[in-house]
Amino acid sequence: MTYISKKYSHTIIINHKIYNFLGKKIFKSKSIIIYILIFTIISCSNQEIDSSNISPEPNLDLPAITSDISYSPLSESRSLSAQSFQSNSNNTSNGIWVEARSSIKVPADMASFNIKIKSKKKTVTEARENTAIYMNKVINALQEKIKNPDDIQTSSFNIYPETRWIEKKDEFGTYSESTIIGYSVENSIDVFVKNLDILGPVIDEATIAGEDQIEINSINFSVSNVSSFEKKLRENAAINAKSKAETYVESLGLELGNLVYLTEISSPVSTASYAPRMEMAIASDQYTPSSFSPGDIELSISIQANFEISR
């Protein structure tokens, strides 16, 4: 609520009376020029009163109104969390970050590959039977060389229809329709050879047993005892990380501080793989033995480290 001083309250009342009186006269006489002049004088008088002489209500000890958001435990919690996150981010972003890699080449000592037998016949029974016959022949041949049953494992077994689009005709005309013409049965096994000296004979005997029904996928060479090299790889990676950080820091005339953060980006894994190449002459009972040169396997590890910098 606003209050108008008594000094000007009488003036306002008089102005309204003049306005009412003269307004009636003006409208009766239709004197537009006089009406505009009088209305302008009254408006200026009222504006002067409004801008200069209207004062706020006397002090009633009312509480001040502010635009601040009321207190909320949740908002405070979010604020503290954000400050804490920012603080942690600043701590980990200080110093110097480096990535380091350590690697070693080790001769491959084992191989693994996949053998698939696939048969396509008019009926499921015929396809399954034929696949089973040839898979049993392959497994028997493998067991002559591979003595551990765990080194020959079934990986998949699938039966699915073989279809073909056939043109048909009815009272509405000619159309094509997908029709089942037979069935395929696939049986796959994973084979692990832990003595590379017998890898060639194993491949050859399996191929002879499987005849035209066999499919051998790419051979993967690896190292069987990777864990025995992991400690040395990690030690070298840590040394490389510190050496790299020291090089950067010392070149700037500073000193390397304590280690703040370290994480392992990648673990040691075998990376080499080769596809078998075989020359067979089954018809004449003669064949060229398969040979493989697996070479060395590279084992590597990568880390990321953060060090403090001392001035």
- pLDDT per position as a tens digit, 22-72: 555 544 544 556 556 665 665 555 554 444 444 444 444 444 434 443 444
User: What range does the domain containing 50 cover?
Assistant: 2-55
Give the count of domains, the chain: 3
Top mean pLDDT of 93-102, 223-232, 300-309 is at: 300-309
Establish if 144 belongs to a structural domain.
Answer: yes
Q: Under 8 Å CB-to-CB from 304, ≥6 apart: which residues?
A: 97, 98, 99, 100, 241, 261, 262, 263, 265
What pLDDT, in 10s, does the model give residues 65-103?
344 434 444 344 333 334 433 444 444 457 999 999 999
- Across the range 153-158, mean pLDDT stands at 95
Cβ(138)–Cβ(206) below 8 Å:
yes
Pairing of strands 173-193, 152-170: antiparallel
Establish if 70 belongs to a structural domain.
Answer: no
Q: Of 168, 195, 222, which residue is a domain's last?
A: 222
Q: Is the pLDDT of residue 113 over 80?
A: yes
Q: Are residues 196 and 241 in the same domain?
A: no
What pLDDT, in 10s, does the model give residues 207-218?
999 999 999 987
Buried b (16+ CB within 10 A) or exposed e, 252-275: eeeebbeeeeeeeeeebebeeebe
Q: Are residues 8 and 96 in the same domain?
A: no
Establish if 244 belongs to a structural domain.
Answer: yes
The pLDDT assigned to 40 comes to 61
The pLDDT assigned to 35 comes to 55
Establish if 264 belongs to a structural domain.
Answer: yes
Q: Are residues 95 and 20 in the same domain?
A: no
In the chain, the amino acid numbered 195 is N
What pLDDT, in 10s, does the model give residues 157-177?
999 999 999 888 888 888 888
Q: Are residues 122 and 218 in the same domain?
A: yes
Q: Are residues 171 and 301 in the same domain?
A: no
Q: Are residues 98 and 192 in the same domain?
A: no
